[in-house]
Amino acid sequence: MTYTLLHHTGCSTSRKGLALLQENGIEPEIRKYMNQSEALSVDELKDIAAKMGASSPREFLRDKDAQKFDIPPTLDDDALYAAMAENPKLIQRPIGINNGKAALGRPVEKLLDIT
């Protein structure tokens, strides 16, 4: 199975995560989910959460961007998934997906947990 990295080139942590994978001999398939053509759907976000073992999309929500976009802390999960699909800036990065599992690269070393 191919390792997929949800990557944002404008994010230093995402770039560090990609470099770490490459240093460890992993050439991931890059998905630039911030691009409209590679955007994540609600179903894909739910699948990623399941693969992470996350009980809520809040576990990979960028809190500072949630505040910028007036996402209330009381927003239910379905509405939050929809908001994240509509505005990918709300999604923490990088996220690695491999072998039926997903890992949020915070810190980036966690990306290696699913290799």
User: At 11, which CATH number?
Assistant: 3.40.30.10
**Global confidence as pTM:** 0.94
Tell whether the model's pLDDT for residue 1 goes beyond 80: no
The pLDDT tens digits of the residues spanning 59-83 come to 999 999 999 999 999 999 999 999 9
Average pLDDT of every residue of the chain: 96
Tell whether the model's pLDDT for residue 107 goes beyond 80: yes
Rounded Cα distance between 115 and 72, Å, is: 35
The pLDDT tens digits of the residues spanning 86-102 come to 999 999 999 999 999 99
Q: What's the average model confidence in pLDDT over 12-40?
A: 97
11 given a catalytic annotation: yes
Number of domains in the chain: 1
Burial class of residue 47 in the structure, from the number of CB atoms within 10 Å of its CB (0-12 exposed, 13-18 middle, 19+ buried): middle
Rounded Cα distance between 102 and 52, Å, is: 5
* Cα angle 111-113-115, degrees, rounded to a multiple of 5: 85
HSE at residue 89, side-chain half, CA atoms within 13 A, is 10
Reported confidence tier of residue 39, pLDDT bands at 50, 70, 90: very high
Reported confidence tier of residue 114, pLDDT bands at 50, 70, 90: very high
Cβ proximity of 45 and 85 under 8 Å? yes
Quote the tokens at residue 52: 């992470």
Q: Which domain holds residue 35?
A: 4-114
pLDDT of 10 reads 95
Helix then strand count (H, E) for the chain reads 4, 4
User: Which residue out of 11, 39, 42, 114 is catalytically annotated?
Assistant: 11
